[in-house]
Structure formats: C-alpha cells, structure tokens
C-alpha cells in the first residue's frame, strides 16, 4: 500500500485550474520526484498533502488517512509525522540555529533539556552544521539555512519529508551537499521523500520514481531511465532542457516576417 494516495485531484485558484484529475502514488521508503515547469502547482500539491489547502474534488490519503476529513487535532497529529522543507527554509528568525532545531521537540515532547541537547546536536551533526548552532538565521547562507531546516524537519523522526524546490538558487557545492543529504537521510532513516523540483539532473540522480506535471495533469511517470527514453517530445524537451520544442521558445503571435512588413506600427 502506498504511503500517499492521490486520486482524481482537482484544485482551482479562482477560475484557473491548477489540477484537473491528478492521480499520484508515493511509495514507502522511496524518493519520489514531482517535476514540471514553473507555475504548474508543485508547491500547491505539497500544501494539499499537508492539509494547508483543501482540494475542490478528489482525495488525498496519507498513511491510510484522508487528510481533508481529519479533525484539526487529528491533522496536527498526522503533521507531527510529516516533515516539510520550505524553499526559503522558513526558520524562525528571532532564535538561533540550535533553538530552531529544538523548537518542535520542545513544543511536542516533555523531554529534559539535556536529552533535547543530544538530539539537536545529532541532527545538526547529520547535516554538518553542529558547530554553527549559535548562529542566527540571518548569518546563514541559503544552502546552510536549508540544511538547518532539514535538521529541524528530522527532529521528530517523521515517516516522510517533503522538499519544496530544495536545489533552487544553490551554488554547485551546496547543491551537491543537498542532493547527497536527501539521498542519505532517506536511506538511513527509512523515510519516504517527496522532492518537488525542476532541476532535472539533480533530481533524476536521487529519485526512484518521477511524476511530470503540466497543464494540471500528470503528463508522464516512471523511473528516471524510463523518462529519459520516453517517446514524448514534451518529456524530451523538459528532461534535456531544450529551448524549443512542443513548448515554443517564442511567445505566441504573428510571424516575424509579417511583423517586419508593418513599419507603420510604431511610426
């Protein structure tokens, strides 16, 4: 049985359809990537899974529970077992790195401070930032902030972690570190991971299974190797990052030659 089962998902913002009949299964213990061009609603999908948004139609089951039929307290109980890494890190800016990682432990457990200290140091050690524990979020680089957020997401030993665009805007070293961490943590902790991204090569490197979204639908799915061999031109354009193809380079409109023959337009 998959950890997350999404069936016939419909979601609208105003009159604009974000999802129209999406079906996705996230398998336990695997890294599943959700990919697609900007604006396809990848982050929205994570918010729907986390119960922060409600679908207009369809169901999302996490570990056998329909997320949108749970009471508030049941939803909060479920969220304790779901970690989420926001694109910005979403660290609390008025407290330091140590207190940020300790935050969920202090909120949800009655553990003594000495034990919390050990747990926090273990999580920070795992992301390589144990010695940065006294820094404030404003003193961290973007990549470091994401690693601290990852340590925080792991604090309560969740069954899954959702990553929202973890590689965006990272230098090659940070990017390599994050790719490595996501892969390692998933295997070491026996987690299930969902990575939302449009960085093809990094994501394909760690993903066991990929869903490609576009226009509110799942366009293609499969292992990275299967997608690279896909016969669909759209999939090939996306996976290889080609500037022109089914998604045209030029914004739709009259032909260039026709435009050149109309010098009076700006005269």
Partner 1 sequence: MINLIRSLGRWGLSAFERLGRGHIFLMHMLAGIPGLFLRFSLVVQQLFSVGVLSLLIILISGLFVGMVLGLQGYNTLVDFGAEESLGVLVSLSLVRELGPVVSALLFAGRAGSALTAEIGLMKSTEQLSGMEMMAVDPIRRIIAPRFLAGLISMPILAAIFSAVGIIGAFLVGHGLLGVDDGAFWSQMQAKTDFYDDIMNGVIKSVVFGFVVTWIALFEGYDATPTSEGVGRATTRTVVHSAFAILGLDFVLTALMFGDE
Site membership for partner 1, residue 84 (CB under 8 A): yes
Phi/psi for 183 (5° steps) reads -65, -45
Q: How far apart are CA 251 and CA 116, in angstroms?
A: 55
Q: Which of residues 209-228 bind partner 1 (CB under 8 A)?
A: none
Spatial strand order of the sheet with 192-197 comes to 82-85, 160-164, 192-197, 31-35, 209-214, 217-222
Only one of the segments 80-88, 126-134, 196-204, 234-242 lies at the binding site for partner 1 (rule: CB under 8 A); that segment is 80-88
Q: How far apart are CA 21 and CA 39, in angstroms?
A: 17
Site membership for partner 1, residue 76 (CB under 8 A): yes
Check if the beta carbon of residue 95 is closer than 8 Å to that of residue 138.
Answer: no
* 154: exposed, middle or buried (Cβ count in 10 Å: 0-12, 13-18, 19+): buried
Site membership for partner 1, residue 161 (CB under 8 A): no
- CA triplet 193, 175, 240: central angle to 5 degrees? 85
List 48, 82, 179, 218, residue binding partner 1 (CB under 8 A)? 82
Give the nearer residue to partner 1 in terms of CB position, either 94 or 264. Answer: 94
Only one of the segments 79-87, 187-195, 207-215, 249-257 lies at the binding site for partner 1 (rule: CB under 8 A); that segment is 79-87
Site membership for partner 1, residue 80 (CB under 8 A): yes
Site membership for partner 1, residue 103 (CB under 8 A): yes
Q: How far apart are CA 142 and CA 196, in angstroms?
A: 17
Give the nearer residue to partner 1 in terms of CB position, either 145 or 218. Answer: 145
Site membership for partner 1, residue 191 (CB under 8 A): no
What number of chain residues touch partner 1 (CB under 8 A)? Answer: 22
Site membership for partner 1, residue 187 (CB under 8 A): no
Six-digit token pair at 256?
Answer: 């260039």
CA dihedral (240, 45, 161, 128) positive or negative = positive
Site membership for partner 1, residue 152 (CB under 8 A): yes
Site membership for partner 1, residue 52 (CB under 8 A): yes
Site membership for partner 1, residue 171 (CB under 8 A): no
Site membership for partner 1, residue 107 (CB under 8 A): yes
Give the nearer residue to partner 1 in terms of CB position, either 164 or 220. Answer: 164
Tell me the closest approach of the beta carbon of residue 151 to partner 1, in angstroms. 13
Tell me the closest approach of the beta carbon of residue 88 to partner 1, in angstroms. 5
Q: What is the CA radius of gyration of the chain?
A: 21
List 8, 57, 88, 190, residue binding partner 1 (CB under 8 A)? 88
Could you tell me whether strands 209-214 and 65-66 are parallel, antiparallel, or unpaired per DSSP bridges? unpaired
Q: How far apart are CA 176 and CA 189, in angstroms?
A: 20
- Residues in contact with partner 1 by the rule CB under 8 A: 50, 52, 76-77, 79-80, 82, 84, 86-88, 90-93, 103-104, 107-108, 149, 152, 156
């Amino acid at each position: 049985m998959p950890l997350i089962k999404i069936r016939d998902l419909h979601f609208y913002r105003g009159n604009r359809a974000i999802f129209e009949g999406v079906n996705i299964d996230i398998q336990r213990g695997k890294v599943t990537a959700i990919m697609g061009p900007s604006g396809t609603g990848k982050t929205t999908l994570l918010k729907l899974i986390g119960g922060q948004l409600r679908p207009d139609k369809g169901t999302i089951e996490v570990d056998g529970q329909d997320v949108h039929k749970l009471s508030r307290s049941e939803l909060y109980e479920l969220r304790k077992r779901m970690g989420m890494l926001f694109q910005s890190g979403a660290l609390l800016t008025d407290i330091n790195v140590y207190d940020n990682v300790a935050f969920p432990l202090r909120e949800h457990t009655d553990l003594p401070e000495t034990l919390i200290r050990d747990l926090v140091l273990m999580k920070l050690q795992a992301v390589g930032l144990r010695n940065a524990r006294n820094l404030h979020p404003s003193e961290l680089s973007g990549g470091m902030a994401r690693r601290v957020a990852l340590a925080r997401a792991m604090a309560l030993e969740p069954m899954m972690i959702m990553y929202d665009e973890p590689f965006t805007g990272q230098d090659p070293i940070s990017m390599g570190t994050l790719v490595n961490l996501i892969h390692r943590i998933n295997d070491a902790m026996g987690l299930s991971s969902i990575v939302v991204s449009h960085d093809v090569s990094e994501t394909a490197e760690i993903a066991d299974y990929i869903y490609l979204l576009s226009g509110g639908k799942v366009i293609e799915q499969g292992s990275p190797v299967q997608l690279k061999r896909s016969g669909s031109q759209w999939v090939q354009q996306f996976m290889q990052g080609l500037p022109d193809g089914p998604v045209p380079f030029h914004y739709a409109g009259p032909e260039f030659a026709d435009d050149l023959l109309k010098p009076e337009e700006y005269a």
